[in-house]
Structure 1
Amino acid sequence: MKHVPPPEDTNAQRFELARVQTAALVIIAFAVVLFLLVQAQFILISLAVAIILFSLTADVISFIARQRIGRLRVPNWLASIVALLLIGAALLTMTSIVVAQINTVLQITLAYAERAPEAIAALFSWAGDDTEAAVLNSMRSIELSGYLRGAAGGATSLTQASVLVILFVGFLFAERVWFQTKLLAFTGNPAQAKRIGLIISSIIHRVNYYLLVKTGISLVTGVMTYVMAQAFGMEIAMPLGVMTFVLNFIPNVGSIVATGLVALAAYVQFGDPTLTVVIFVISGAIQFMNGSVIDPMLMGRALRLSSFGILVSLAFWGAVWGIPGMFLSVPIMVMMLVVCSHVPALRPIAILLSREGLPDSEDQLDKS
């Protein structure tokens, strides 16, 4: 009898082929999205900042619009215009302060540039004359002017981005009146529209709380750093305070960089290792007290983000968007955590992003 081979399992082959095609499409889609994120980073970063500023002030505008002056009530459009003017003035003022301090640091850096290589090389004198000479030659080979031109260009871009952010915020204020109507028309289901609205409100609440607490702690840290630098007679006390305030918005890495900058500036100015160590210890103690003690105590369980997840988000968005991406990494991660917590298919991702592996439930969404 002739042997007849068993029929091939076509269903299994089709299923395996579909899995391979799906995986390939996911990889291609990720590559396309990543390309667009990099190419349109200036506009996307400005839009992300505008959304954050809009979320910070949306509740305030609603509160103002509910107030009455005698028999008259403040119109929503008037409250929006006042809020936009205040945001624009505050943003441009803050940008001018940061740019002025950056320019001050650049000018002083140029003045310190000639003695900085010798000062840094002296830190390695304990390893021998050859090592010190090698470090000195390496430091002198660095084209400092190129880095300074890049920093100056970044400061100019910061001013341009501020204007674009103000324009985006203005359009968001104009659209907020019709948001609920559009959401209902988009979903076609009042219950689903309400649920999406609750998710968006939860995201806004968490991001706002994080930014308010982080701003307060960063401000206190910057003021304490300024007072400390002023007490030791450092020439760039104010720029160091402003830079510390800004860098503390970058999770984990920002405080380390700020402490290193304070110590490096002290050593370049004074050239005294003992005094530099004292300033480094005091600056590190300020950062540790505010960042590792007060910050977690105020944040509490409001965010519940994984520390490793924060580092991964910081590395990814830093690679995609540079320094602005580092500032936005935590708000973006908060948004992902809330969304993934309430989408059943994405809930495993929320478990990985949360600190204890316990993301929000539907009951918590109703209470938020």
Structure 2
Amino acid sequence: MALVIIAFAVVLFLLVQARFILISLAVAVILFTLTSDVIHLIARQSIGRFRIPNWLASIVALLLISTALLILSSILLAQLNTVLGTTLSYAERAPSAMASLFAWMGEDVERAVLNSLNSVEVSGYVRAVAGQAGSLMQGTVLVILFFGFLFAERIWFGTKMSNFFDDPAQAERANRIFNSIIHRVNYYLLIKTLVSVITGAMVYVVAMLFGIELALSLGILTFILNYIPNIGSIVATGMVALVGYVETGEASVTAGLFVITGIIQFVNGNVIDPWLMGRALRLSSFGIIISLAFWGAVWGIPGMFLSVPIMVMLLVICSHVPDLRKVAVLLSREGLPEDDRELDRLNEEIESRRAS
């Protein structure tokens, strides 16, 4: 037991100390899994009698993805700088604006709320976020480097997997588990992106209708925050209402923004999102909160974004390791983790889709 505690402490120390590199590596692995099918698609194309070789398809995909990452990072960094700069200018007015919402409860309550809010160093938190945003471009370059090395090694993955296991059946089983992880993580990210785009666009339209100057920035931040499970939608809703009140100073506008944005988040997050996910992701809600808290404490805001993909990976692995299956039962929503029949069915669908 003592060795387990020491090993956990050492791993936790390494996770914290090397978090910048590990976060970049985790993002690179996720992007690699997302684009593996794209490479297969490019490699199957042909121009006349000339068939695109696999190495050329990999280079084309790498160049396209690297360019897209740099462009998206530049756009995101510019938007974050705009929003954070505006937030700093609003930081002095925000406490009094929020305290005035409690004026109907009496002057004593309003004064108590104002004193409590003044004790919170909002500008300090904003500058901390700005510091993390400033390292975004550095992280993007590191992600591209990791991504390139993964692409260079991909053609030997099958050989390494076969040589790693003495039994060919075990190698095939490990490959199927790996395919299941890729499929589920990709499906989660695609559905989450779709729902986040819809939510961000709806918030942008609502903010425009209420005459909010930062409507576009609020829509973009809502899109980004929706990748953080549960907490992200709450923060986004409060942020929209707060910006609306600071800009307009009208309680009716604030209440309207809060109610409409809250309804949008509730419907998209609790109706559309679970309906689209279906049975592909059967994660425990309590497990998601624990994963969110743990990775948020270890890796900060990037850890919150990566918490669900990491949990999906752990769920699939624990489902097929007999000694860890009880952990998978705890991580799954209904206590029914993935079994061998579902694993075989999923891999058959993947192979048929690649062959078509």
TM-score, normalised relative to structure 1: 0.91
Q: What secondary structure is seen at the aligned counterpart in 2 of 1:315?
A: helix
Instruction: Tell me if structure 1 keeps the 8 A contact 2:94–2:242.
Output: no
1:241-278 Cα distance to aligned partner (Å, 9 max, x none): 01000000011111111001001111111111112111
The correspondence of residues 105-144 of structure 1 with structure 2, limited to 5 A, is 105-144=83-122
Q: Distance in 2 between matches of 1:113 and 1:367?
A: 54
Partner of 1:356: 334
Select 2:43's aligned residue among 61, 65, 76. 65
Partner of 1:293: 271
Partner of 1:226: 204
Deviating above 6 A after TM superposition, structure 1's stretches of 4 or more consecutive aligned residues are: none
Partner of 2:222: 244
- Aligned residues with identical type, % of pairs: 69
- After TM superposition, give the deviation of residue 352 of structure 1 in Å: 0.9
Q: Distance in 2 between matches of 1:208 and 1:114?
A: 42
Partner of 2:163: 185
1:277 correspondence with 2:255? yes
Partner of 1:265: 243
Q: Distance in 2 between matches of 1:333 and 1:216?
A: 20
Partner of 2:289: 311
The count of aligned residue pairs is 346
Q: Distance in 2 between matches of 1:54 and 1:146?
A: 36
The correspondence of residues 91-110 of structure 1 with structure 2, limited to 5 A, is 91-110=69-88
Larger radius of gyration, structure 1 or 2? 1
Q: Distance in 2 between matches of 1:257 and 1:140?
A: 19
Q: Say which is worse superposed, 220-229 or 357-366, in terms of deviation.
A: 357-366
Partner of 1:174: 152
Instruction: Tell me if structure 1 keeps the 8 A contact 2:210–2:253.
Output: no
Q: Which amino acid aligns with 1:170?
A: G
Instruction: Tell me if structure 1 keeps the 8 A contact 2:285–2:333.
Output: yes
Q: Structure 1 residues 274 and 96 mapped into 2: Cα distance closer, same or farther (>3 Å)? A: same
- After TM superposition, give the deviation of residue 137 of structure 1 in Å: 3.6
Q: Distance in 2 between matches of 1:285 and 1:334?
A: 28
Runs of at least 5 residues in structure 1 that lack an aligned partner in the other structure: 1-22
Q: What secondary structure is seen at the aligned counterpart in 1 of 2:61?
A: helix
Q: Which amino acid aligns with 1:241?
A: G
Q: What secondary structure is seen at the aligned counterpart in 2 of 1:251?
A: coil
The correspondence of residues 31-70 of structure 1 with structure 2, limited to 5 A, is 31-70=9-48
Q: Distance in 1 between matches of 2:57 and 2:32?
A: 13
Q: Which amino acid aligns with 2:325?
A: R
Q: Structure 1 residues 356 and 143 mapped into 2: Cα distance closer, same or farther (>3 Å)? A: closer
Q: Distance in 1 between matches of 2:240 and 2:167?
A: 56
- After TM superposition, give the deviation of residue 305 of structure 1 in Å: 0.8
Q: Distance in 2 between matches of 1:340 and 1:139?
A: 44
Q: Distance in 1 between matches of 2:250 and 2:298?
A: 39
1:99-152 Cα distance to aligned partner (Å, 9 max, x none): 111111122223323322321221222332233233334434444443332222
Q: Say which is worse superposed, 172-181 or 143-152, in terms of deviation.
A: 143-152
1:162 correspondence with 2:162? no
1:208 correspondence with 2:194? no
Q: Which amino acid aligns with 2:302?
A: P
Q: What secondary structure is seen at the aligned counterpart in 1 of 2:151?
A: helix
CA RMSD between the two structures:
1.3
- After TM superposition, give the deviation of residue 333 of structure 1 in Å: 0.7
Q: Distance in 2 between matches of 1:317 and 1:258?
A: 20
Q: Which amino acid aligns with 1:329?
A: S
- After TM superposition, give the deviation of residue 189 of structure 1 in Å: 2.1
1:274-297 Cα distance to aligned partner (Å, 9 max, x none): 121111111011111111111011
Partner of 2:128: 150
- After TM superposition, give the deviation of residue 367 of structure 1 in Å: 1.6
Runs of at least 5 residues in structure 2 that lack an aligned partner in the other structure: 347-356
Q: What secondary structure is seen at the aligned counterpart in 1 of 2:135?
A: helix
Instruction: Tell me if structure 1 keeps the 8 A contact 2:204–2:215.
Output: yes
Partner of 1:8: none
- After TM superposition, give the deviation of residue 185 of structure 1 in Å: 1.1
Q: Distance in 1 between matches of 2:183 and 2:155?
A: 19
Q: Distance in 1 between matches of 2:274 and 2:23?
A: 27
